[in-house]
Amino acid sequence: MNNNNKHSSHSHHNHGDMDHSKHEHVSTEEHGDHKGQHYDHHAHHDHSGHGGHEHHHHGNFKELFLKSLPLGIIIMLLSPMAGFDLPFQFTFPYSDIVVAILSTILIIYGGRPFYQGAVDELKQKEPGMMALVSLGLSVSYLYSIYTVIASYVTGEQIMDFFFEFASLLLIMLLGHWIEMKAIGEAGDAQAELAKLVPKDAHVVLDDDSIETRPVADLKVGDLIRVQAGENVPADGTIERGESRLNEALLTGESKSIKKGPGDEVIGG
Please report, for the domain that includes residue 28, its CATH number.
2.70.150
* 225 vs 53, residue with greater confidence: 225
**Percentage of the chain lying above the pLDDT 70 cut:** 67
Of 135, 162, 193, which residue sits at a domain end?
193
- 265 or 100, which is more confident: 100
- Do 30 and 97 fall into the same domain? no
Is the domain of 229 the same as that of 166? no
Assess whether 134 and 207 both reside in one domain: no
Residues 147, 98: one domain?
A: yes
Q: Is residue 55, in this structure, part of any structural domain at all?
A: no
Count of Cβ atoms closer than 10 Å to residue 168 Cβ? 18
What is the number of structural domains in the chain? 2
Residues 123 and 39 in one domain: no
Q: Is residue 171 part of a domain?
A: yes
Nearest one of 211, 46, 59 to 120, comparing CA atoms: 59
Same domain for 100 and 177: yes
Whether residue 39 is found in the same domain as residue 23:
yes
10 occurs within a structural domain: yes
pLDDT digits (tens, 9 = 90+) for 176-231: 999 888 887 777 767 766 666 677 888 888 887 888 888 778 888 888 877 766 77
Q: Which amino acid is at 77?
A: L
Over the stretch 21-46, which tens digit does the pLDDT of each residue have?
Answer: 333 443 333 333 333 334 566 655 44
pTM comes to 0.55
Q: Are residues 82 and 142 in the same domain?
A: yes
Are 220 and 248 found together in one domain?
yes
If one compares 35 and 85, the residue with the highest pLDDT of the two is 85
Choose the weakest-confidence range: 19-33, 82-96, 101-115, 183-197.
19-33
Residue that finishes a domain, picked among 168, 193, 218: 193
- 155 and 81 share a domain? yes
159/141: higher pLDDT: 141
Residues 163 and 222 in one domain: no
Which segment of 50-54, 122-126, 167-171, 239-243 scores lowest on mean pLDDT? 50-54
Full residue range of the structural domain in which residue 158 is found: 61-193
- Domain end point (choices 138, 173, 193): 193
In a shared domain, residues 153 and 126: yes
Range in 155-159, 189-193, 262-266 with the lowest mean pLDDT: 189-193
Which range among 34-48, 110-124, 141-155, 234-248 shows the weakest confidence by mean pLDDT? 34-48
